[in-house]
Structure 1
Amino acid sequence: MSLTSRIDAAVSAALMHAAGGPDAPATLSRALPYACLPGGARIRPTILLSVAMACGDDRPELSDAAAAALELIHCASLVHDDLPCFDDADLRRGKPSVHRAYSEPLAVLTGDSLIILAFDVLAEAAAVAPLRGLELIRTLACRTGMPHGICAGQGWESEAKIDLSAYHRSKTGALFIAATQMGAVAAGQEAEPWAELGDRIGEAFQVADDLRDALGTEASLGKPAHQDDLHGRPNAVTELGVEGAVKRLEDILSGAIASIPSCPGEAMLAGMVRKQAERLTPVLKPARA
C-alpha cells in the first residue's frame, strides 16, 4: 500500500469514528470531513510514515494512527487560521473555508473536535505499544500547545515584538518536528535525534510558504495570496528579499538532508526530503529569472 493510501485510509477511519449516529449534530458531523477531505499534500504524515519506515516500521498500526492524528491537528489548525479573528480567509484548498461553508461557530467547533479526535485516535492505538503510545501523545501535545507548539506560533502574532525564529519554529516547524519525532517513536526509536530534521524541514516550508504568498495568486495557491503583507506578519521575503529567501531555502534543505540520523532507511529518507524540496521549487523559479 502506498503512503498516500495509508494516510487516506487512516484519516478516513478516524473521521468515521467521529461521525456519530442519528443522535449526533448532523451539520457538525458533515463539517469534520469537509475540513479534511479531499486532502492537501499530506506532507506532514508523509514525512512521519517515511521516518517510521526508515526506522523499521514494526508497528504499522501505531504509525498509521500517528499519521492520522498529526494530519487531523494540521487540518484543525487550518480551520482556525482561516477564521475572521485570524486570517479571515474565504478559501482553503480551492473551496470555501469551513467558516464560510458552515458558519463561524461551527468552524470553531470543527477545529476543536478535530484536535480532540487526534488524541483519541492515538489513545486507542496505544494498546499495541503503550509506552510508545504515551510518548506519541506527549509529543503531539507538546507540538500543538504552549510553549513551543502551533498555538504558541499563533500567539506570537499578538506580540508587540516578534522573535522571527521562534515564531517560525512554533507556527510551522512544530508539526514538522512532531512528524519526524512521532515517526521515530512509532517505530521504537528515540525522539530527540530526529528533532533537528523536523526543525529544518519546517523552516524550509515556512520560507517557501512566505515566497508563495508573496509571489503567487489566489488561483495558483487555492487560497488568498499576499496575506503576510495584508496582516503585517513577519516573513522571510520582507526580511531577506526574494533572492535572499530563495537562497535561504536552498541552504536549509541542504542542511535538512545532512541532519538525517543514521538509520536503515537513511538513503530512502534523503530521497524523500529531496522529492519534497522539488515540490517547493517550481513556483519559485520565475522569481529568479
Structure 2
Amino acid sequence: MDISRRLELAMSATIDRAQAGGPGRLAHALNYAVLPGGARIRPTICLSVAMACGDDRPALADAAAVALELIHCASLVHDDLPAFDNADFRRGKPTVHMAFSEPLAVLTGDSLIIAAFDALTHAAPADAMRALSLVRLLAHHTGMPHGICAGQAWESEPEVDLRAYHRSKTAALFVAATQMGAVAAGQEAEPWQELGARIGEAFQVADDLRDALYDAETLGKPAGQDAALARPSAVEELGVQGAIKRLRDILSGAIASIPSCPGEAQLASMVQLYAERMTPVAPVRV
C-alpha cells in the first residue's frame, strides 16, 4: 500500500470515531476541514521516516501521521478566523468559519486537536511506551514555549525574532514529523531534530516567497497577506533574491543531516523532490 492510501485510510477511521453520534453540523465541519487534503507533507514525512527506520509498529506510525495532520488542519482553521488572518478561502474553497460560522470553526479546530491525541491513545496497545513518547512529542511541538501556538503568538510581540518565529510557527510540526516517525519505529527522537528543522525552515521561506510572488488563484488562498498584515517574513527581511538564496542554503544542508538508517537513500530522494517543488518558479504576481 502506498503512503497516500495508507494515510487516507487512517485519517478516515480517526475522523469517523470523532464524528460518531455527535452534532451533525460539527461532524460535517470536521470532514470539511480535512477533506480534500492539501499536500499532506507532514504526515508523508512522518511515514517516510518510520518506513526508513523499519516501520515495525505500523499502527503507531499511522496514528502519528494522522495526529500531525489533524493538528495542522486545526491550526489552519484557527489561523483563518477573523481574530487572526481573517481569510475567506483555503485550498480553493470557503474557510470553515465562512462555511459554518465562527463558533463552529473554533469548535472544529478544538475537536481536531482532541482527535489528534485520541488517535495516539487509540494506537497505544501496539506499544504503550512509544505511544506515550509520541503524545509528549506532539504536545511539545504544538503548545508553548516552542510549538505552533508560540509561533502564532510571536505575531503579537512588539519585536519578532524571525528565526524563532519560523522555528515555532512552521518548523515545529516538521520536527515533530521526523521525530515521531522515528519514535513510532523504535528509534530515538533527538537525531531527527535537525532534518525536521531544516525542512520546516525551508518550507516557511518558500511560503513567504509564494505569498509575495504568486496570486490568490495560484495559491488557493489569499496572497500578499504578509505585507497586508505586517507579518514578519523572509522576503521582508532579505528581499526576494536573498530569500531564494536562504531557501537553497537550507535545503542543501537538509539531505546531509539525515541520520543513518536502512532507508537513508530513499529519504534523501524524498527531500530532494520536496526541494524541487518548494523552489519558486517565475512569479505570477508582480
TM-score (norm 1): 0.97
Per-residue CA deviations over 1:108-156 (Å, capped at 9, x if unaligned) read: 0000000000001101101110110000000000000000100000000
* Superposed displacement of residue 19, structure 1: 1.1
Matched residues, number: 284
Separation (CA, whole Å) in 2 of partners of 1:91 and 1:278: 26
Structure 2 residue corresponding to 1:158, chosen from 156, 159, 169? 156
3-state DSSP class of the match of 1:56? coil
Separation (CA, whole Å) in 2 of partners of 1:226 and 1:6: 35
Separation (CA, whole Å) in 2 of partners of 1:12 and 1:33: 9
TM-score (norm 2): 0.98
Partner of 1:18: 18
Identity of aligned residues (%): 72
Partner of 2:67: 69
Separation (CA, whole Å) in 1 of partners of 2:250 and 2:67: 27
Structure 1 residue corresponding to 2:261, chosen from 263, 269, 274? 263
Structure 1 residue corresponding to 2:173, chosen from 144, 165, 175? 175
Structure 1 residue corresponding to 2:147, chosen from 132, 149, 153? 149
Separation (CA, whole Å) in 1 of partners of 2:282 and 2:215: 13
Separation (CA, whole Å) in 2 of partners of 1:65 and 1:15: 12
Partner of 2:9: 9
3-state DSSP class of the match of 2:282? helix
Partner of 2:205: 207
Per-residue CA deviations over 1:64-113 (Å, capped at 9, x if unaligned) read: 01101100000000000000000000000000000000000000000000
Aligned residue type for 1:8: E
Separation (CA, whole Å) in 2 of partners of 1:7 and 1:67: 7
Partner of 1:29: 27
Separation (CA, whole Å) in 2 of partners of 1:216 and 1:6: 32
Partner of 2:50: 52
* Superposed displacement of residue 285, structure 1: 2.5
Q: Name stretches of at least 5 consecutive residues in structure 1 with no aligned partner.
A: none
Separation (CA, whole Å) in 1 of partners of 2:113 and 2:231: 25
Separation (CA, whole Å) in 2 of partners of 1:111 and 1:70: 13
3-state DSSP class of the match of 1:190? coil
3-state DSSP class of the match of 1:49? helix
* Superposed displacement of residue 41, structure 1: 0.2
Partner of 1:248: 246
Partner of 1:285: 281
* Superposed displacement of residue 286, structure 1: 1.2
Aligned residue type for 1:176: F
Post-superposition, which runs of at least 4 consecutive aligned residues in structure 1 deviate over 4 A? Answer: none
3-state DSSP class of the match of 2:20? coil
3-state DSSP class of the match of 1:286? coil
Aligned residue type for 1:64: D
Separation (CA, whole Å) in 1 of partners of 2:86 and 2:6: 33
Separation (CA, whole Å) in 2 of partners of 1:127 and 1:146: 29
Aligned residue type for 2:282: P
Aligned residue type for 2:33: A
Separation (CA, whole Å) in 1 of partners of 2:8 and 2:93: 19
3-state DSSP class of the match of 1:232? coil
